[in-house]
């Protein structure tokens, strides 16, 4: 039995997933930082217009990062679907070819029986 190796789409999906996880972690950290700046405004600290503007810019960047993550996850989903389809095709080919390779298919049984019958008729 041949060892099972991950197909290329699965490997690509794994690599993209690892990269997306890092992007999400970075977006989470950026969003946390921006929220801390905005939270300071609620507490009553002296907040400058620049700090609020910086927090808003940071939130917009995080939003962009998250949009990129959504697109990457769509690619991962497509790659995994492709891998599933390829696996199903291979399984179907294995089922179709099983009788031919093993000698246990209906065609090979009929062929064997016909050959046996011919041999018996020749022996008489």
pLDDT of residue 31: 86
Helices marked H in the chain = 8-43, 49-102, 106-123
Quick one: which H or E segment has residue 46? none
Instruction: Give the pLDDT of the chain (124 residues) as one tens digit per residue.
Output: 444 555 687 888 888 888 888 888 888 888 888 888 777 766 666 777 888 888 889 888 888 988 988 898 888 888 888 888 888 888 887 766 655 555 556 667 777 777 777 777 776 6
**DSSP state, residue 16:** H
pTM for this model (two decimals): 0.55
Measure the N-to-C terminal CA separation of the chain; round to a whole number of Å.
45
CA–CA separation, 62 vs 38, rounded Å?
15
The Cα 75–Cα 79 span in angstroms is 6
């Amino acid at each position: 039995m041949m060892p099972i190796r991950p197909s290329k789409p699965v490997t690509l999906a794994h690599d993209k997933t690892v990269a997306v996880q890092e992007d999400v972690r970075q977006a989470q950290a950026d969003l946390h930082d921006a929220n801390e700046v905005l939270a300071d405004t609620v507490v009553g600290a002296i907040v400058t217009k620049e700090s609020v503007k910086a927090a808003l810019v940071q939130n917009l960047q995080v939003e962009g990062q998250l949009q990129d993550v959504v697109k990457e996850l769509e690619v991962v989903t497509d790659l995994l679907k492709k891998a599933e389809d390829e696996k199903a095709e291979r399984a179907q080919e294995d089922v179709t070819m099983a009788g031919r390779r093993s000698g246990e298919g209906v065609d090979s049984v009929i062929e064997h029986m016909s050959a046996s019958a011919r041999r018996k008729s020749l022996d008489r």
